[in-house]
Structure 1
Amino acid sequence: MSSSVERVKAALASHGHDGELRRFPDSTRTAADAAAAIGCTVAQIAKSIVLRTGDQPVLVVASGINRVDPAKVAALVGGRVKRADADWVRAVTGFAIGGVSPVGHLTQPLVLIDQDLGALDPIWAAAGAPNEVFRTGFADLVRISGGRVEDIRE
């Protein structure tokens, strides 16, 4: 198990989450790949998108079917945001793109959670590797990530 996956397990445990992870032989890097591997809808995949405002990471956890509106995110964080490149994501979060979890970051991001995830149960999120996920519910996702529930959809 990689150190990033171990970090996610430890973060889940520290929040009282059962931390049961599922590993797949193929990548679950995209929401569609994850949904096919898990056997759920694409909407139930909590995709993690890392943006940045200056040097501050902003993690947007969105339903797999939604596109994130950068203008809404900028208004919510009070400044300009841009997509973070893969090297910056790894350096700041400790995760490779495709495996970014809502918890266990090296640098705690500002977390915004798509309000549309509230209508879904269960929700599946990346667990630190492109082929590792964990199951959770909406209230637990908000609690363990410290996120704010917002309208972030285009």
Structure 2
Amino acid sequence: MTETTPLPPRTQLVADALTSAGVRGAVVSLPESAATAAMAAAALGCEVGAIANSLVFWSDGRPLLVMTSGRHRVDTLGLARRLGRTSIDRATPEQVRASTGQAIGGVAPVGHPSPLETVVDEALAEHARIWAAAGTPHTVFPTTFDELVRITGGSVHPVSG
């Protein structure tokens, strides 16, 4: 009989949300931190563009989760125009934790206290498999572009300039 190490509580919430959404890819625990796209890509042996960064912004008084390719920076002015928003600003660490229940560097696309409005970077569609954080900087899960859009209820947009 093999023993399995229990997942951290935040990651277990994400894993439960993934299971409920019918996601088949299992959460992977990494020995090294994957807090940045470059670190995650190195740990997983994939292109940095296949990392789905979960970035929380504050837009018109509420959180906005942007799932962007690890090779992109979010053009907040362009995205605000596309979404018809007054502004999109980077959320503070406190706003990120309050909105997601997770800390920067490990924010997952699901498993939040309440669903977040989400934008998914169209560039992630270029990769057959993408990886997203699973609630901590040491946990990730594999998914596909279509599955990511489905589980987040996200709208697809270009997010870089």
Question: TM-score, with normalisation over the residues of structure 1?
Answer: 0.95
1:38 lines up with 2:38 in the alignment: no
Query: For residues 28 and 151 of structure 2, what CA distance do their matches in structure 1 show?
Result: 18
The Cα of 1:73 is off from its aligned counterpart by 2.1
- Structure 2 unaligned residues grouped into runs of 5+: 1-6
Q: Residue 3 of structure 2 aligns with which residue?
A: none
Which residue identity is paired with 1:53? S
User: Residue 148 of structure 2 is aligned with which of 127, 131, 141?
Assistant: 141
Q: In the TM superposition, what whole-angstrom CA distance separates every residue of 1:6-46 from its partner, at most 9, and x where no partner exists?
A: 11111111111124011111100000000000010101000
The Cα of 1:55 is off from its aligned counterpart by 3.4
Residues 59-74 of structure 1: pairs in structure 2 closer than 5 A = 59-74=65-80
Q: Residue 102 of structure 1 aligns with which residue?
A: 109
Query: For residues 44 and 51 of structure 2, what CA distance do their matches in structure 1 show?
Result: 10
The Cα of 1:86 is off from its aligned counterpart by 0.7
Query: For residues 107 and 6 of structure 1, what CA distance do their matches in structure 2 show?
Result: 16
Q: Residue 118 of structure 1 aligns with which residue?
A: 125
Q: In the TM superposition, what whole-angstrom CA distance separates every residue of 1:26-81 from its partner, at most 9, and x where no partner exists?
A: 10000000000001010100011100114311010011001110012212333211
Query: For residues 9 and 34 of structure 2, what CA distance do their matches in structure 1 show?
Result: 18
Q: SS state of the match for residue 38, structure 2? A: helix
Give the fraction of aligned pairs with identical amino acids, expressed as a percent: 44
When the two chains are superposed, the root-mean-square deviation of aligned CA atoms in Å is 1.1
User: Residue 28 of structure 1 is aligned with which of 13, 24, 34?
Assistant: 34
The Cα of 1:88 is off from its aligned counterpart by 1.3
Q: SS state of the match for residue 92, structure 1? A: helix
Q: Residue 152 of structure 1 aligns with which residue?
A: 159
Deviates more, 1:105-114 or 1:22-31: 105-114
Q: Which has the larger radius of gyration?
A: 2
Q: SS state of the match for residue 41, structure 2? A: helix
Query: For residues 9 and 100 of structure 1, what CA distance do their matches in structure 2 show?
Result: 13
- Give the conservation status (yes or no) of the 8 Å contact 1:86–1:96: yes
Q: SS state of the match for residue 32, structure 1? A: helix
Question: TM-score, with normalisation over the residues of structure 2?
Answer: 0.91
User: Residue 56 of structure 1 is aligned with which of 41, 58, 62?
Assistant: 62
- Give the conservation status (yes or no) of the 8 Å contact 1:31–1:42: yes
Q: SS state of the match for residue 120, structure 2? A: strand
User: Residue 86 of structure 1 is aligned with which of 85, 89, 93?
Assistant: 93
- Structure 1 unaligned residues grouped into runs of 5+: none
